[in-house]
Structure 1
Amino acid sequence: MSGFFKNIHSIPNPTFVLDEELFLQNMRVFDALQKQGGVQVLCALKGFAMWEVFPLMTNYLSGGTASSLNEARLIHDEMGKKAHSCFVVYNQEEFNEVQQLSSHITFNSMSQFERFRKELRKDVHYALRINPEFSNVDFEQYNPCVEGSRFGVTHEELPSVFPSEITGLHFHTLCESSAQDFKEVLDVIESKFGDVLHQVKWVNFGGGHHITKEDYDIDLLSSLLKNIQRKYNIELFIEPGEAIGYNAGYLIAKVEDVVTNKREKTAVLNVSFAAHMPDCLEMPYKPEVVGENKEGVEITLGGNTCMSGDFVRGFRFLEDLQIGETIVFKDMAHYTFVKTTFFNGVKHPSLGLWTKSNEFKLLKSFSYEDFKYRLS
């Protein structure tokens, strides 16, 4: 990435930039996991959907997971594969096309399965999303098994005779989770749904696996997967979202103003946490910025929308930030440009790729027309 920082002022500002070499490092981790653990890795488009690199991705991954018809279309068009579709809810108008675009379809509830039961096709593999009523995710907003959750079928909701049309199970209980977290969930799954695991042919272990994080225990994950495969003789899938683009991208921004109120100094940027980095406010978390220090001048970074809460506190730099200074946010390739908005009509960051040949490739710049024609 030395070339990236050396040439950063030649890149449009603001821009989300994916580093191709860092992205390839993640892909190699998944490739090794597939070979070691006997699992098929799918890219969850809800977390990462930069389709420019889908052809590159398919050299390493087995396909993609769709949560909507648009995502299923994108997998078909840009990966050249059928989707593993797991929608929260299907509707009558779209279901036929979803089936045409999908190799695997997961129903979130028994009522959804019953609604479309007579329309199922022989060339599609169907599953139920199950809810083990257990998760070790601390933050409730990201816990799909919280009490009263709309996600998945509990064991007590399963019919006494398991439907013959259902050949798979699907569960998603993790978020930024370790292999040990997965083991704890797996123990609960086996205790509650072990009888069903013996009846199905495939299982999707969902997302939330922090596989490309530096201290992730790949050996433990591989061991768990191989044991499940041997014990139940089933085909295995996982569908990471965050881990696909983890630490592989940046958001380049710029200081446009510096304001002081009482003792709090805020550098107002040409990007928005609310519109361009929403997870920073939803989780919430403080993103890392290149050039930060543990000590120094404490500065709040503020977004450029009129939302009062569009700021994040707690950044420290050796010196005061100056108007025109470039700010580079780290780890901005997942759950960022898939969630951005045109709120306030503020300029949307461009999308770009820093190639392994050390060149910048502009993929998309956004214009007034992009803003206008989202409205009517």
Structure 2
Amino acid sequence: MTSTDSQPGLSGLATPYYLVDECRMLKAMQRIHYVQQRSGAKSVLALKCFSTWCCFDFMRQYMAGTTSSSLYEARLGYEKFGGETHAYSVAYDDDELKQTLKYCDKIIFNSLTQLDKYQSNVPANVSTGLRLNPGLGFSRYSLSDTVAKYSRLGVAFDQLPDGLESLIDGVMLHMNCENTSYSNFSAQLDWLERHLAGLLAKLRWLSLGGGVAFTRDDYALEDFCLRLKDLSDKYQLQVYLEPGEASVSQSSSLVVTVLDLVDNGLPTLIVDAGVETHLLDVLIYRFAPALEGATAIEEHELEAALAQGKTVYRVCGRSCLAGDVFGNYVFDKAIAPGHQLVFTDVAGYSMVKKNFFNGIKMPSICHRDIRGKTRLIKAFSYETFRDFLS
């Protein structure tokens, strides 16, 4: 199977490899920039989702900076991206906070206890924020439901003390995961205003977090911009968005090679990568990643597809994990060992989560710039594996 990504410069590269493509990223970047122009809302890249910094020179033309979840991410954003550096952590220790304050211009605390403990350590040139938990949000998965009952993420509205505005400059809410509905998001803001209008009027900035799929083709982008501008104007706030997946959706591929074809009643392709090792979210959230030249089908559809004579394969990784399964697919044509397969949308939460389980070869990272020039950025060796642990 020939990949559309297999252009000159990649033909001799050994798989597996990730290919990060600025040409494919451009549409999302342009929409992010458009939102800032139309609404005034600035976007900061969520490094927890995507930290492949070979693209940062390109991305900083469209985004205001980065937001982090740890000291290392904050430092990476400061050193490699520039612009605004927002720092957040579920919990800081003394040394991490001291180090983080060297790199950020906004520090966001997760709890009132951390705010009380560390607010006096924050220098005058760093803005202080607090994460709130509105108890209202959107997620299809319990694993990513930040506003669930007993959530440790942020301070509940009914726990906010009087005079909070004297301690902080802004608040951050992260209440969405893959929310594709503008009407749902707008209703969240309506609810937020009903419960928090008094505080918002006394703050300087408001971060609405990530998980809002506003760079999709079918998203109500104009309504989104107008709603954000209205919110900003009403309360005289700088509004921030923290797109992760929305920044890099459809921008990157994982290219693999079929090593074996096993048929124990269901033709199964074994590729030179793994789900747990290289596309961990596929395993966690149990979905089949998009695959070039193939259509994913559900388990209950297998028997019918096979009976109809369709070209069906289960695609699996080569780790010893029984559940190392990318998915079941109907292909456009027959596949054999030696063919390459291309998973077409793997930027978000893949490279940041890759690991050395089973000692499987780590995919290289390749970069295609906006001019179409492709280069190998990083290759991983046995020594990388060896030195990772001790």
> Is residue 140–residue 177 contact of structure 2 (8 Å, CA) maintained in 1?
no
* Letter matched to residue 38 of structure 2: Q
> Is residue 172–residue 207 contact of structure 1 (8 Å, CA) maintained in 2?
yes
Q: What residue in structure 1 maps to residue 190 of structure 2? A: 187
Secondary structure in structure 2 of the residue aligned to 1:314? strand
Distance 1:102 1:6, change over 3 A: closer
TM-score (norm 1): 0.95
> Is residue 272–residue 317 contact of structure 2 (8 Å, CA) maintained in 1?
yes
Q: What residue in structure 2 maps to residue 225 of structure 1? A: 228
The Cα of 1:291 is off from its aligned counterpart by: 0.7
Q: What residue in structure 2 maps to residue 57 of structure 1? A: 59
Secondary structure in structure 2 of the residue aligned to 1:331? coil
The Cα of 1:211 is off from its aligned counterpart by: 2.0
The Cα of 1:10 is off from its aligned counterpart by: 2.9
Distance 1:173 1:133, change over 3 A: same
Note the alpha carbon deviations across 1:291-340, whole angstroms, 9 max, x for none: 11476222111111111111133211144321111000011111110111
> Is residue 4–residue 354 contact of structure 1 (8 Å, CA) maintained in 2?
no
1:4 aligned onto 2:5: yes
> Is residue 119–residue 128 contact of structure 2 (8 Å, CA) maintained in 1?
no
1:200 aligned onto 2:214: no
* Letter matched to residue 130 of structure 1: L
Q: What residue in structure 1 maps to residue 45 of structure 2? A: 43
TM-score (norm 2): 0.92
> Is residue 271–residue 316 contact of structure 2 (8 Å, CA) maintained in 1?
yes
Aligned pair count reads 374
Q: What residue in structure 2 maps to residue 15 of structure 1? A: 17
Task: Give the alignment partner of residue 287 of structure 2, picking from 279, 285, 288.
Answer: 285
Residue range with higher mean Cα deviation, 183-192 or 223-232: 183-192
- Measure the CA separation in 2 of the matches of 1:205 and 1:342: 34
* Letter matched to residue 336 of structure 2: Q
Structure 2 unmatched ranges of 5 or more = 297-304
Q: What residue in structure 2 maps to residue 313 of structure 1? A: 327
- Measure the CA separation in 2 of the matches of 1:354 and 1:60: 18
Distance 1:59 1:293, change over 3 A: closer
> Is residue 3–residue 358 contact of structure 1 (8 Å, CA) maintained in 2?
no
> Is residue 82–residue 101 contact of structure 1 (8 Å, CA) maintained in 2?
no
- Aligned residue runs from structure 1 range 164-313, under 5 A: 164-178=166-180, 179-261=182-264, 263-293=265-295, 296-313=310-327
- Aligned residue runs from structure 1 range 346-365, under 5 A: 346-365=360-379
Distance 1:98 1:6, change over 3 A: closer
> Is residue 297–residue 319 contact of structure 1 (8 Å, CA) maintained in 2?
yes
The runs of at least 4 consecutive aligned structure 1 residues that moved more than 4 Å come to none
> Is residue 165–residue 199 contact of structure 2 (8 Å, CA) maintained in 1?
no
- Measure the CA separation in 2 of the matches of 1:299 and 1:157: 53
Secondary structure in structure 2 of the residue aligned to 1:102? coil
> Is residue 354–residue 361 contact of structure 1 (8 Å, CA) maintained in 2?
yes
> Is residue 259–residue 271 contact of structure 2 (8 Å, CA) maintained in 1?
yes
- Aligned residue runs from structure 1 range 87-236, under 5 A: 87-178=89-180, 179-236=182-239
The Cα of 1:3 is off from its aligned counterpart by: 7.0
